[in-house]
Each structure stands twice: as C-alpha cells, then as structure tokens.
Structure 1
Amino acid sequence: MTVHETTTATAGPKKARQDARGTKVRRRRVRAAWLFLTPMLVVLALVAGWPLLRTIWFSFTDASLSQMGSANFIGVENYLVYDEGWYGLLADPLWWQSVWNTLFFTVISVGLETVLGVIVALVLNAKFRGRMVVRAAMLIPWAIPTIVSAKMWAWMLNDQFGILNHMLMGLGIISAPLAWTADADLSMWAVIIVDVWKATPFVALLVLAALQMLPSDCYEAARVDGISPVRVFFKVTLPLIAPALMVAVIFRALDALRVFDVIYVLTSNASSTMTMSIYARQQLVEFQDVGYGSAASTLLFLIIALFTIVYLYLGRRQLGGDQ
C-alpha cells in the first residue's frame, strides 16, 4: 500500500466522524433555537393569530357591532355576490379608490423617504463640526408621536391661519391661500409631505448605521485611482448598503400600506385620501357592519402579506446573486 492510499484510508473515517460531529452540533443548535422561539411563537399566536382568525371568520358572516353573538354564515357575500347586479367589497368603487390611494401613497412616500434618507445619511456620515447635534436634531420628527405631528401639521396647513400659506404668499409663490387638506387635488400630497417629514429620519438612521460599517480601504483605493465620488457611490457604496436599505424600505412600505392615523387626523374620511385601513374602520365603527369591515381588513392583510413575500423573495434572489 502506498503512502497516498494509506492517507486516504485514514482520512475517510476521520472525515466521517467530523461530519457526524457537525451534524450533532447543528441539531443541538436547532433544538436550542426552537426552545427559545417557542414562548414567543405561543404569545404571538395568542396576541395576533387568534384575532386574525376571528377577523377572517367574521368576514364570512353578517355580524354587526350590536349583534356579534348572533352572526350567521353567509359565505363570500361580503366579498362579491350577484343579485341582479354585482354587490360586495370587490364591486365597491370606494374600496378600489382606497386601494389606489394606499398604493399611490406607499410608492410616492416610501420612494421620497428612501432618496432623502440616503442623502441625509451621506451628509451626516461626513465629518464636520456639530455633527452630533445635527444627528440628534434629525431624530426629532421621528420621535414625535404620529398623532401629535399630524395635528401640528394640520395647524400649519390650515388655509386661513396656517404658517405654510403665509410663508408661500410672502415669497410670492402663491397669490391666495391653499386649502391643503380640503382640496381633493392637494390633500394627498399634503399627507405625503407630512409622512415624508416624519419617516425620513428612520431611513436615514438605518442607512447611516450601514455607512459607518463600510470598510475604508475601498474608498482609499478609489481615491488613489481618481474615480469620481458619484461613480464610487453607485458602484461601491450603494451595493454595500443594499441590505440595510432593503430593511428600511420594507419596514416603511409595511407602515405605509396600513397607514391610518396621519391621514385620518388630517383629512378624516375624505374619499380623495381614504386608505384601506380608513375604509375598514368606517365600515366597522361608523356603519357598525362587522362582517363587511372584517372582509376589508382581511383583504388588507392579504395584500400586505403578498407584498412582503414578493419583496423578500426578490430581495433574497438579488442578494444571493450578488454573493
């Protein structure tokens, strides 16, 4: 037997033992992970799972707010039914208007927050005097409760005594006060302005944390090679901060898809800004139609779940391809 054959013969059992030991370690880690996760999953099932199942069940009944216990099963009539015409949630033009408003609000607000958040993070990542004070001041909009900031902006956007109209008229940009929250053509943009003002610091904070973790040797090499800062950003910085940016975008998109408070405070039940959450609240509380409102809430949940699954799938494929 040659030396090579002897080495191979002894290495085979050794490798098998190492694989078996590695498998045992992985199994032990999996059991430990499930041991720690089980209490959280149980609490989550009780706090979120049970109300969700109840909502889905009510969406197939004719339950009302005054007679919750005597609800009757009616199938999919709350969603869509034909009785000499189409009726139900999917045949309601106001529902589809609220879906469009929600998607429009999500795309515009999250897009602006992402771009502005990256710009603010790049500025705060630079070294200048008073940087810590500016960073602390940047978090003030995010720290203010949404109801408080929405009410504050409602006063600022008032068409009679709002400071925003006063400033724009003083600069000569407008000649007459604008009804920001009452005009159907301006109300959605007013809501977007308020949301961008509040949520941009959140995106900037996550991006700033990612920027501070980047290796400096890449930028030193680019500086030596004379590469322009714009090209360095798109070729080096942006790919490296993509995971953190993806987390920020998905968190903000989920918040935007279920937005309620800021729009309800500024414009109440106006059809021009009504979102899916406001539509569901109107059916549940004002019209006391629990079955119909539960159907709207169920569709809202399905839309958010579908968006999350698609976004995570595409993000995982992109990150895997980069690796």
Structure 2
Amino acid sequence: MTTSHSSAPVGARTAPLTARRSRGTKVRRQRVKAAWLFLTPMLVALALVAGWPLFRTFFLSFTDASLSDLGTANFIGFENYLVHDNGRWFGIMADPVWWQSVWNTVYFSVVAVSLKVKFGVIVALILNAEFKGRTIVRAAVLIPWAIPTIVSAQMWAWMLNDQFGIINHMLMGVGVIDDPIAWTASATYSMWAVIMVDVWKTIPFVALLVLAALQMLPKDCYEAAEVDGIHPVRVFFKVTLPLVTPALMVAVIFRLLDALRVFDVIYVLTSNSTSTMSMSVYARQQLVEFQDVGYGSAASTLLFLIIALATVAYIYAGRKQLQLGGDA
C-alpha cells in the first residue's frame, strides 16, 4: 500500500504558506514604517526650506505686494498674470519682455545642454583611455567645475572685455578679427558668449557621470567586438552609448534643471540685457529693481511650473525610451 502526500489535509498544506505570507507582509510593513521614520525629518526640513517659500511666492503672485511694504498687499486675483482692461491686455502673459526671456531660456537650455552632453561624452571617453598622466588630467578637468559660478563668470567677463580682454587680444594677434568685439554687450554674440562660459563650467559634471558609467561596463562585449573586427565607431553607437544612456539621462536632467533656472552666469556677464535675459533674471528685475513683489512672484511661479512640466515630460520620455530599448 502506497501513501501519497496529496492525502494530507488541505489546511495542513496551506498553513506554512499562509504563515510565510503573513511574516512577509509584516516585514514589509516594518520596512515601510522604518522608511517613513527616517524620511520624516527630511520631509519636515524640505517643507520648511522649500515648501513654505514656494507657497508664499504662489500666494503673493495674486496680490499687489510691493517690496517697500509687504504688509499692505491686496488680493487682485490673476491681474499679475493676465487681465483685459479698456480694450488692452495687461500682465506678465502679455509682456513681450517675458516671452523674450522664455525664448532666451529655452534656447540657452537646448543649445547648452546639447553641447555639454556631446563634449562631456568626448571628454569621458578620453579620460577612460589608458595613457600616461591620466590621473593628473582627470584632476585638471575638474577645475572648472570646482570654481564657483560667480567667480568663473566674472573671470570670463574680464577675458571677454572688448577693451582689455585677452580673448580679443589673442584673436587679433592671429589675425582672426581686425577690431575688438564686445562679446557680452553685442546682441549678436552675447548669447553665445554666455553659452560658451556655461558649457566650459559644467562639462566636467557630465564627463564625470559618463566616466563612472564607462568604468562599470563589461569588458567581454568589447573583447568580442575586437575579435569580430567591428569598427570602434560602430561599437560606440551600438554598445557603449546604449549602456551609458541611464547615466546620460541623469546628467541631462540635472543640467536641464540648472539651465532652465539659470541666473548667475547670465546676470554677471550681461546683467539685464534683453538679448540674454532669462526667466530668473526677469523675475529678479521685477522683484528687486522694480520692487513689484506680486508681479515678480507671478514670474517666479510661472518659472516653477515650466520647470516642473519640463521635468515630468523628460522623465516620461526617458522611461518610454528605456522601455523600448529593453523590449528591443
């Protein structure tokens, strides 16, 4: 007579499984509780440091608050944003200077981030190669990133000066230009001067992230490609670039956020020039120089919304791209 495990009661067989599930659920609850316990101080600090000023700015954007007397602010609704009166539109949405600053910011962000990514990848590939003195070169590349932005912007402002700047002196010395160029005062060259300074400053950040990703890549892929005689350029686009894409996405989102809220490098180099004015410079001008806190808060609120939408759109597009790449 043979016996079978199937003859055991169903309750006896499911009891261990139920107990394991119960223990797993309890462990997950404990982990979630511990996570919230550790996150609470950070969330409280974030609410005080970022949440309250953001809410305050949002509230002031619906008032006629002035920097000279914030206590007498009156609620005016959406008049700072857009209002129609006597057949004309008023408010920040009807201000051509605001839309010029939006265009300047978008143009600066797209061009600067694109150049940072391209040159950052090139620098990372060079630093990843084996050559004598690589450690010293890696340390030297980080110098622009280590210099504070205000210091580097002021340094470049002196170098780009049309009277005593070394850039004009060098270009005239080799015969590229005949007369000095006002790089930061000319509407033709000022935006490109700002982009050049910002790219020079932040290329090391992108290069560092990509270099870290390159050093984590599996060597067997490259050994197999070398054995098969595949051209290095094709290996880069088919193997290296897809593998470092997650690191590039992180670099792009950080640089994009900084570019959309850029202030210091533009303000130091070109001050309030409309040819390079960013949204942050526009908001600062309304808040400080014109002392219109309500109008400046409206500009700051729109800047926050634009950055938030751009971030969400980029993350969504990045996830879709990674999903398509994984399916392929």
Give the TM bin, normalised by the shorter chain: over 0.9
Partner of 2:171: 168
> 276, 284, 287: which is aligned to 1:284?
287
Structure 2 residue matching 1:69: 3-state secondary structure: helix
CA RMSD in angstroms comes to 1.7
Matches within 5 A, 1:1-323: 3=4, 5=6, 12-84=14-86, 85-323=88-326
Aligned counterparts of 2:313 and 2:6: Cα–Cα separation in 1:
52
Shift in Å, 1:12: 4.5
The residue identity in structure 2 corresponding to 1:238 is L
Aligned counterparts of 2:146 and 2:170: Cα–Cα separation in 1:
26
Deviations, residues 280-319 of structure 1 (Å, cap 9, x unaligned)? 0000000000000000000000001111111112222322
Deviations, residues 110-133 of structure 1 (Å, cap 9, x unaligned)? 000000000000000011000000
The residue identity in structure 2 corresponding to 1:270 is S
Aligned counterparts of 1:149 and 1:265: Cα–Cα separation in 2:
10
Shift in Å, 1:173: 1.6
In structure 2, relative to structure 1, the CA distance for the partners of 1:266 and 1:16 (3 Å cut) is same
Could you state the TM-score of these two structures normalised by the residue count of structure 1? 0.96
Aligned counterparts of 1:63 and 1:249: Cα–Cα separation in 2:
37
Aligned counterparts of 2:152 and 2:284: Cα–Cα separation in 1:
21
Aligned counterparts of 2:258 and 2:27: Cα–Cα separation in 1:
39
Shift in Å, 1:69: 0.6
Aligned counterparts of 2:17 and 2:242: Cα–Cα separation in 1:
38
Aligned counterparts of 1:263 and 1:15: Cα–Cα separation in 2:
64
Further displaced range: 157-166 or 81-90: 157-166
Deviations, residues 135-184 of structure 1 (Å, cap 9, x unaligned)? 00000000001111011101111112111111112222212211100100
Shift in Å, 1:106: 0.3
The residue identity in structure 1 corresponding to 2:61 is S
Gaps of 5+ in 1: none
Aligned residues: 323
The residue identity in structure 1 corresponding to 2:212 is A
Deviations, residues 51-86 of structure 1 (Å, cap 9, x unaligned)? 100000000000001110110000000000000200
Structure 2 residue matching 1:300: 3-state secondary structure: helix
